[in-house]
Structures are given as structure tokens and as C-alpha cells.
């Protein structure tokens, strides 16, 4: 089984690996149902989905009538205005077949102009706060990609008391001095305020860059057992963070198996060796 960690100030003990349901974006319901069996086998108790992930909410929604109590359920909104976010949230509740989600997240909030719109009096944040007051959601988070996202998340936390953040944590990005410094500042802020920190793309090798896309991911993932073991164990070595799983259902068991075998007594992972042997590169171009 996979160890559990306190998910910020929510009071929920989530598995250290969270199921990233983007993996269900374009699979059949039968494939999704087999994926549920894998989650139950490893005791995964936290699902992260979004309207932007194709049919993912519908696929997860089929599980909810029988399995709602087993999962901390999170979704997102990419909308930036009050009216649009409110409509999208209600649509998500319908697709997920639930009356309430545990966590609603402002999705991919990294552009300053979109940030201004979302945080305005008639912005998406107000719709999410209202939904929390109405009992439609329990907690509110914020997510994003790219080199500036750690700094943007700190800005978001100064504006509002978000319960969680989500951002990349990869060996190649951590080797960038600026990103690593801003990530550590964000982590410190989250630790002080009881904000849960979710991380993504730990097993990304890099862009496909013209290679044949052999997995259901927009990035080229690590797929060798030793690579997955090392990257998962490296990420889980940070006790303050959670690792969102891979965007391909066929790689999911390998990631969960690595997480189940994680132990504190493992020797520290040399990210320089992992980066060089695994031929890792940034998903977001050269950092500045």
C-alpha cells in the first residue's frame, strides 16, 4: 500500500500519490473501470480531474455512486469570470454525479492578465467562494505550469487563502537555480500556512520533439522500470509534497508500484545521474 500524508489543513490523509485522471481523457469506460481496480489495489484515495481532460469527469462519475466515500475528489475550472466558472462547476458536478466535490481548483492560472480577471470582484474566485458557502465544494486550490508558476502561486496565496497548489516538480526544472529557489520559497510559505502542495510531471522525460507518440501523454514519459522507480522515489523523498500520477493508464501501475515500494531508508537519488541516464529535458523550453 502507498503511504498517506496529511493534505494540508483539509484534515484528509491522502495517499502520497494522487491519481491524475487526465489519463482517462480519451479511454473507454471499460478501460477506466479497470483503472479503478488498480487504484483500489494500491489504496489510492484521492482523484484529481478537470473539465479540460476530455471525458475524464464522465469516466470518474461512473464510479461515484458506489465509491464516493473512498475518494477525496478534486476537479478544476479553467474559466476566469464569475458567470463562466459557476456554469462550469455545476456542469462538473453533473458529470461527476456528486452533490459536492472536496476540492475545486483554478486551473492553469499563470498568465498575469488571466490572474487579474480571475481575482477581480466579478472573477472566477468569487464563484468558487460562493460555491464553498453553498456546500458545493469544501476547499479551493490553484494550479499551473511553466517557469513562473511558483512565483505566481505565492502571489495567489497573498491574494487568497487557497487550500492547495499544484505545479511541476521535475529533476530538470529543479536544476534551474531560479525555479528551484522560487519552488523552495513557495514550499516554505505553504508549510507555514498549511497549504497542500501537489506536484506533476516527475516522470516526464521531455517533449516528444518529433518522436513517435507511443503513450497517451502530451509529453514523453519515462518508461523504464529503473527510471520510474528513481523519479518516483526522488519526488516522494520530499515529505511535504504529493505526486500526481502519469497521464497514461498503462504506465499507472508502474508508478503506483514504485510508490508502494518507496521507503525512507532508500539511498538519496542523484538527480544528475537520473537526468543524464534518462536523457531528461524541460517541457517548457529553457528556463530564464
Which residues have a Cβ under 8 Å from the Cβ of 117 and sit 6 or more positions away? 80, 81, 123, 124
Name the residue with cell 467562494. Answer: 129
Model pLDDT for residues 99-135, shown as the tens digit of each residue: 999 999 999 999 999 999 999 999 999 999 999 999 9
Which residues have a Cβ under 8 Å from the Cβ of 14 and sit 6 or more positions away? 4, 5, 6, 7, 45, 46, 72, 196, 242
Nearest CA-CA partner of 1 in 261, 225, 249:
261
pTM for the complete prediction?
Answer: 0.95
* In the chain, where the domains are located: 4-277
Q: How far is it, in rounded angstroms, from Cα 263 to Cα 203?
A: 18
pLDDT of residue 264: 56
Model pLDDT for residues 143-191, shown as the tens digit of each residue: 999 999 999 999 999 999 999 999 999 998 998 999 999 999 999 999 9
- Asked if residue 124 lies in contact with residue 81, where contact means CB atoms within 8 angstroms, the answer is yes
pLDDT above 80 for 287: no
Superfamily of domain 4-277: NADP-dependent oxidoreductase domain (3.20.20.100)
Confidence of residue 286 (pLDDT cuts 50, 70, 90): low
Which residues have a Cβ under 8 Å from the Cβ of 108 and sit 6 or more positions away? 78, 143, 144, 145
Confidence of residue 267 (pLDDT cuts 50, 70, 90): low
Model pLDDT for residues 200-225, shown as the tens digit of each residue: 999 999 999 889 999 999 899 999 99
pLDDT of residue 288: 40
Q: What is the mean pLDDT of residues 56-85?
A: 98
Q: Dihedrals φ, ψ of 2, to 5°? A: -95, 135
Amino acid at each position: 500500500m502507498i503511504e498517506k500524508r496529511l493534505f494540508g489543513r483539509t484534515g484528509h490523509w491522502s495517499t502520497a500519490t494522487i491519481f491524475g485522471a487526465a489519463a482517462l481523457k480519451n479511454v473507454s469506460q471499460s478501460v477506466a473501470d479497470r483503472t479503478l481496480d488498480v487504484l483500489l489495489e494500491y489504496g489510492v484515495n484521492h482523484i484529481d480531474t478537470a473539465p479540460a481532460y476530455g471525458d475524464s469527469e464522465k469516466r470518474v462519475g461512473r464510479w461515484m455512486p458506489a465509491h464516493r466515500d473512498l475518494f477525496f475528489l478534486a476537479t478544476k475550472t479553467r474559466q476566469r469570470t464569475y458567470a463562466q466558472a459557476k456554469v462550469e462547476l455545476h456542469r462538473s458536478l453533473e458529470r461527476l454525479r456528486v452533490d459536492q466535490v472536496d476540492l475545486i481548483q483554478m486551473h492553469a492560472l499563470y498568465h498575469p492578465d488571466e490572474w487579474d480577471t480571475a481575482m477581480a470582484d466579478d472573477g472566477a474566485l468569487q464563484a468558487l467562494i460562493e460555491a464553498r458557502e453553498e456546500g458545493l465544494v469544501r476547499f479551493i486550490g490553484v494550479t499551473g505550469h511553466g517557469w513562473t508558476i511558483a512565483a505566481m502561486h505565492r502571489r495567489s496565496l497573498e491574494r487568497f487563502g487557497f487550500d492547495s497548489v499544484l505545479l511541476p516538480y521535475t529533476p530538470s526544472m529543479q536544476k534551474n537555480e531560479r525555479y528551484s529557489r522560487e519552488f523552495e520559497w513557495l514550499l516554505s510559505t505553504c508549510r507555514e500556512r498549511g497549504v497542500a502542495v501537489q506536484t506533476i510531471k516527475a516522470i516526464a522525460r521531455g517533449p516528444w520533439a518529433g518522436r513517435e507518440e507511443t503513450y497517451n501523454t502530451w509529453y514523453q514519459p519515462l518508461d523504464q522500470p529503473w527510471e520510474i522507480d528513481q523519479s518516483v522515489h526522488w519526488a516522494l523523498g520530499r515529505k511535504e509534497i504529493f505526486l500526481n500520477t502519469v497521464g497514461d493508464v498503462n504506465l499507472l501501475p508502474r508508478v503506483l508500484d514504485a510508490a508502494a515500494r518507496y521507503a525512507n531508508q532508500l539511498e538519496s537519488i542523484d538527480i544528475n545521474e537520473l537526468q543524464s541516464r534518462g536523457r531528461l529535458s524541460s517541457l517548457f523550453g529553457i528556463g530564464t
